[in-house]
Amino acid sequence: MEPIIDPRRGDFEDDASSTKRRSLLSLAGSLLVEISLPKLALAWFLMLVLPSLLLGLAPLAISAWLNTVTWKLTYSLADIWPAVILVAVIALGWFGGRPLLRAVKSSFWSLNALAVEPCDSPPLSESGGDRIMVPVGGPKDERARAGSAASLAAV
């Protein structure tokens, strides 16, 4: 008994694409008839054109998006900076205002005392030298050294 399908002889599709009985032009024509051109165009577009466009446009889209985000962030912070600077100045005045006011007041009175001194006394007299050279609020031995240096300079 002979088998219905003999693998040694090939099958129907093998015979249809064989070049033993048909020319290449005939095979190409039958292939063209089997292929749907709209489906081929759609497959070509989805597999080649669309990924190429996406890969080419992605860097441009990302850079445009980053530019927009940076622009919005910059202009939103431009409205905040004056308030931040105002808060910083108020905090600086709150914590450093009194020591600064004390130093300014001491410097003003020292300058005033030097300017009102009589003209015959030199500016580095004992009282003038003390106001210039003695640090305010320093240790007592440092103040004593500065006072003796002012006295020595006055001589």
Angle at 32 between CA 30 and CA 35, to 5 degrees: 110
Residue 90 located in a structural domain = no
Residue 83 located in a structural domain = no
Confidence category of residue 128, pLDDT binned at 50, 70, 90: low
Residue 20 located in a structural domain = yes
Cα separation of 117 and 41, whole Å? 102
Are residue 15 and residue 59 in the same domain, yes or no?
A: yes
Q: How far is CA 131 from CA 65, 116, 117, 137, in A?
A: 63, 13, 12, 12
pLDDT single digits (tens) 60-102: 999 999 999 988 888 777 778 888 889 999 998 888 888 888 8
Residue 14 located in a structural domain = yes
Residue 20's pLDDT is: 72
Residue 135 lies in domain? 97-154
Residue 78 located in a structural domain = no
Cα separation of 155 and 151, whole Å? 7
Residue 131 located in a structural domain = yes
- Examine the fold and report which residue of 64, 79, 105 is the final residue of a domain before the chain moves on: 64
Cα separation of 130 and 155, whole Å? 14
Residue 144 located in a structural domain = yes
Rounded average pLDDT over 14-43: 80
Query: Structural domain tally of the chain?
Result: 2
- Examine the fold and report which residue of 22, 46, 64 is the final residue of a domain before the chain moves on: 64
Confidence category of residue 3, pLDDT binned at 50, 70, 90: confident
Residue 86 located in a structural domain = no
